[in-house]
Structure 1
C-alpha cells in the first residue's frame, strides 16, 4: 500500500483546533489509512464548515508499502527521549518518526487554540473497538465523549509510544483500536471515530455532508452501552528468543478465570493469576507483548 505522508488535510479557514490524526504507525494496520482517505474524499466533495484544521498523517510509510508491522524496530516504541534527541539513521523508524514530527510542527505554526490527536490502530485478534487513553492532561475527560470501552494505563507500561509523546508536548487525545487488522469493521469503526472527533473538536455538522455517515450510527448504536473503563493489571512481555503461542479463541475483553491456560512459552504453561479479562492477545509473528490482563475500574 503506497501512501503519501500527508494522507489529507482540510480546513474552512476558520480559527479553531488542530485535529492531528495518525494511521499506519504499524505497517500491517491499513484500516485507519483507508478510513482517512475516504473521509478526506468526502470532506473535499461536500466542503462542510469546520473550525480549525484536520490533518491525516501516514505513520510507517515503508512498512505499510510492504504490509509488515515494521522495518527494523516498532515505530510505536521509538518515541523515547534518547531517540528524539539523536541524529542516527538506524533503525529506519527514526526517519519515519522525524517525518511525522515535521508535519506536526508545520501545522503547529498556525497557533491553533487547542490541539487534539487521534492515533488509529488495529489488533491481531478479533476485538470490539476501544480507546486506550493515558490519564494525563485532559485526555480522559476528552475520551469520555466517545461511545466505546476505555482502557487506561497502557502508556504507563509501554515506553516510546506516540501517544505518550504527543501527550507530553501538550496535545489532548488517545489511541483508538478499531478491531482486527484486516476486518472491514475496522475501517467502519475508524471512520466513525474520526467523524465523531471532527464533530467534537471542530464543530462539524453531519448534515453538511453529502449523506449522514452510517459508520457513526453503527458505532453509537452498537457500543454506547459498553462504555466501561478498564485498567491494566499485568503485561506479559516477550523477548525475541521466546517461543510463544497464545491459546486459540481469545478476543479482547474475553473473560478469564484464575488458573486458566492462556499460552505456551518455551514449552511451559502460562496460566492466569486473576479472575479478570484478557487484552491484546498476540496472534501475529511480531510483537513484544504476549497479552495483557485488565479489569474494570470500580
Structure 2
C-alpha cells in the first residue's frame, strides 16, 4: 500500500549536471491521493546522489498539491488539475488573482515555481506529469498530439492515449503544451498498488535516458525497460462520461483499464439510470473513487497509416487552407483559434481535425473552437535531439 505523503517541500529534488544538457521537470502529486510519483522521485534522487552516474543538464522533481498530499485527499474544493485555463493564467500574470481555497493557493505556488525554473533554464525542456488511477491498470501515457510529443513518446515501450485534453477543462498539461514544450502524463498503476512506485521509478530513469540526461549504461536500463515493456499501441478517446457535482455515479465493480467490452455491457449507474456501452469498444479509466468528474472514457486504436498521414499533412501545413472554407472563421475571443460552424462545415469532424493537427472544444451544440497543436511548439529547441531526427 502507498501511504499518504507526510509534510514535504515543493522541490522534491534537484540535480544540476556537470555538463550542459536538457532540463527535465517531473511533477508528482498534483492529486493528493496519488503519492506514488512523489515517493518514486524521492527514491530516484536519493539513488542518483549516491551514484557515480554523470548527469547532463538539470533534473527537477516538483510536488503538486502539498496540502492534499499531507492528508491523502485528492483536493480540497477544486481539482488542481482542472484550473489551468488561460483566463486564470492571465490573472496570475497580471497580479489580479487572489487565491481563496487551498487548491488555488497550491496552484499559485506551483505556477511560480515552474516559471522560476523556466526563467533559469535554457532547455530543451521536458515536462512529465506523474499520476496513478483509481482502478487497476497497466502503465500508460496520456499525450497531447503535437509532433514533438508524439516523436518523443514513441521511444517508450508502453501504450499511449491521444487527445484526452479535448475532453478536460484546464489540465496542467494543456497549459504546458501551449507553452510549446514536450509535455505529457504517465499513469503508473492504481493509487494503492505498491508496484506503482516501482513503475514510476522505471519511467523516470527511462525518461532521463530518452531525453539525453543520463547514459543508459550508467543505470540498470534493461531492468527498468523490461518492467514497463508492453505492447506499444496508440489509442484515441472518442467518448467521456461526464459527472456533475450533483450527480450520483457508481461504476460497476470489476472493470479494468483497457478492458474490451461488448456493445450493451452494463458499465455504471448514473442517478439511478444504467449506462451501457454503445458499441464494441475498450474502457479507459473507470472511476472507483469518491472525487472526480470523469466517470469513464471509451477508446479505440489509431491506425499507423493515419498517424503517418497526419504527420505529412502537418509538414505540408494543409491546416492553413481551413480558414478559407465555408463555416470557418477566426475566433474573436481567442487568439490562434478558429470557430467552426458544424451546421455548415459538416465534414469537419474530429478525425479530420486530428489529421490536420487541431484539437477541438465543443462551443454549444452548433460550434467547435479549434486550435492547432503546432502553433507554439519550440521546434528549434528540439531540432538536434536524437529522437527528433526523422
TM-score if structure 1 supplies the norm length?
0.94
**Secondary structure, counterpart of 2:185 in structure 1:** strand
Q: Which has the larger radius of gyration?
A: 2
Is structure 2 residue 178 aligned with structure 1 residue 178?
A: no
**Residues 92-131 of structure 1: pairs in structure 2 closer than 5 A:** 92-131=102-141
Of 191, 201, 206, 1:191 maps to 201
CA-CA distance at 1:212 after TM superposition: 5.8
Of 174, 178, 184, 1:164 maps to 174
Is structure 2 residue 61 aligned with structure 1 residue 52?
A: no
Contact kept in structure 1, 2:157 and 2:225, CA below 8 Å: no
**Secondary structure, counterpart of 2:19 in structure 1:** coil
Residue deviations 1:20-59 (CA, integer Å, cap 9, x gap):
1000000000000000000000111014212211100000
CA-CA distance at 1:62 after TM superposition: 0.2
Of 1, 6, 12, 2:17 maps to 12
Residue in 2 that maps onto 1:279: 284
Residue deviations 1:240-277 (CA, integer Å, cap 9, x gap):
11111111111110001111110011111101111110
Provide the rounded CA distance (Å) in 2 between the counterparts of 1:161 and 1:286.
Answer: 16
Residue in 1 that maps onto 2:319: none
Residue in 2 that maps onto 1:71: 76
Is structure 2 residue 143 aligned with structure 1 residue 148?
A: no
The two structures, once aligned, show a CA RMSD in angstroms of 1.4
Provide the rounded CA distance (Å) in 2 between the counterparts of 1:153 and 1:212.
Answer: 30
Residue deviations 1:75-108 (CA, integer Å, cap 9, x gap):
0001111222331212322221222222222222
**Secondary structure, counterpart of 1:242 in structure 2:** coil
**Secondary structure, counterpart of 2:20 in structure 1:** coil
**Secondary structure, counterpart of 1:37 in structure 2:** helix
Provide the rounded CA distance (Å) in 1 between the counterparts of 2:64 and 2:191.
Answer: 15
Residue deviations 1:109-133 (CA, integer Å, cap 9, x gap):
3342311010000000000000000
Contact kept in structure 2, 1:16 and 1:112, CA below 8 Å: no
Residue in 1 that maps onto 2:265: 260
Contact kept in structure 2, 1:137 and 1:172, CA below 8 Å: no
Q: Which has the higher contact order (CA 8 A, sep 6+)?
A: 1
User: Between Structure 1 and Structure 2, how many residues are aligned?
Assistant: 293
Structure 1 gap ranges (5+): none
Contact kept in structure 2, 1:264 and 1:270, CA below 8 Å: yes
CA-CA distance at 1:136 after TM superposition: 2.0
CA-CA distance at 1:206 after TM superposition: 4.0
